[in-house]
Amino acid sequence: MSVGKQHAHCPYHLGAIASHKGITRRFAVHSFARSRTRSRLDLVTRLILNADDFGLTTGVNRSIVELHRAGALTSATLMATAASFTEAAAQSAALKTLGTGCHVVLVDGFPALPASEIPTLAPGGSLRPTLGGFVRDLFLGRIREAEIEHEAVAQIRRLQQSGVQVTHLDTHKHTHMFPRVLRPLLRAALQCGVHAVRNPFEPEWALAATPGAPFVRRMEVRALRTQQKTFRRLVREAGLATPDGAIGVLATGTLDATTLRSLLRALPSGDQVWELVCHPGYTDAELDRVRTRLRASRNTEHAALLEVIPGAAKIELIHFGHLHPAL
């Protein structure tokens, strides 16, 4: 296993964000390397708790801030063109312990660049409204990779120019699981000095630990894992850091306290790092005006994180800023 740089930053442990002392960890591209000073019995799983859609509404922003202050959230990804972006960027800058990434939006949203500069990505002046239409045109070669790269750079730069230290990238609706999006996204990351990216693929043990998910969605998540080998190769070649995988993807829209406990119980022991993907928020009139299928579920996820995460045993909470690419 290749090993990254030594890192003496301060991870969160068992939800204690403010009081934990710095400890040294070593990180490889796909997993943490075992510290020589730690016994096997001392190993704990490292978990990133990331909320997507930061900036979507003031209610989503308030939820993310409250959860982070309660020790139930370590990371969030900010949408550069969302309605409540300015508020979220200021909140991120004020919360020094909250890792903040860029939630790159290439579908079902608004571009940062003028549509005339990205005509194949934003035909007719706007991004495609559905993931299905985006993927179809992507595979038909109707979307230029150069335009994806330019739009991603513009969104990342908007965060950086607002004072946000961007810890990582992910994408709205996980579009970077496809190589034709991942390649330009990685180029954008390197251009902007971002060193980590979400691994959007959910392992089989997490799928088995997710009760109540719709059968069709379960089959879709399994089918999309055919892209995982290429993802790992491209990220490794780019020299970026990424976790071992994501959990909670299948549970999007159904993540409650029971499901969250089930996922945490199923976490494998050892020197690994996983990301819990979540979408907490408060349902209000502002959210009602947004095109999203996630409404009441945001309140449920907020309550579940508050109930389950603080004090959770044998989990070390970190964010993407604690990950270092391999040498």
Token pair belonging to 276: 């819990």
Q: Between the ranges 181-185, 209-213, 222-226, where is the mean pLDDT highest?
A: 181-185
pLDDT category of residue 295 using cuts at 50, 70 and 90? low
Question: pLDDT (tens digit, 9 = 90+) per residue, 253-275?
Answer: 889 999 999 999 999 988 899 99
Give the Cα separation of 277 and 295 in Å (integer). Answer: 16
Per-domain residue ranges for the chain?
A: 6-88+166-175+195-322
Question: Which of 258, 294, 290 has the alpha carbon at shortest distance from 278?
Answer: 294
What band does 43 get if pLDDT is binned at 50, 70 and 90? low
Residue 92's φ and ψ, nearest 5 degrees, are: -60, -45
Which percentage of the chain shows pLDDT scores above 90? 71
Q: Which residue has the higher pLDDT, 206 or 222?
A: 206
Q: Output the average pLDDT for the chain.
A: 86
* Position 234 pLDDT exceeds 80: yes
Rounded Cα distance between 87 and 169, Å, is: 20
pLDDT tens-digit map of 20-42: 333 223 223 333 333 333 444 45
pTM of the model: 0.86
Q: Mark out the alpha helices in 95-178 (DSSP H runs).
A: 131-139, 145-161
Checking if the pLDDT of 318 tops 70, the result is: yes
pLDDT of 233: 97
Q: Identify the CA nearest to 291 among candidates 152, 177, 128, 104.
A: 128
Asked whether residue 7 carries a pLDDT value surpassing 60, the answer given is no
In CATH terms, 6-88+166-175+195-322 corresponds, of 3.90.1690, 3.30.519, 3.20.20, 1.10.287, to 3.20.20
Mean pLDDT of the region 2-21: 35
* Residue 2, phi then psi, degrees to nearest 5: -75, 145
Tell me if 23 sits within 8 A of 249, measured CB to CB: no
**Regarding beta strands 12-13 and 6-7, do their DSSP bridges make them parallel or antiparallel, or are they unpaired?**
unpaired
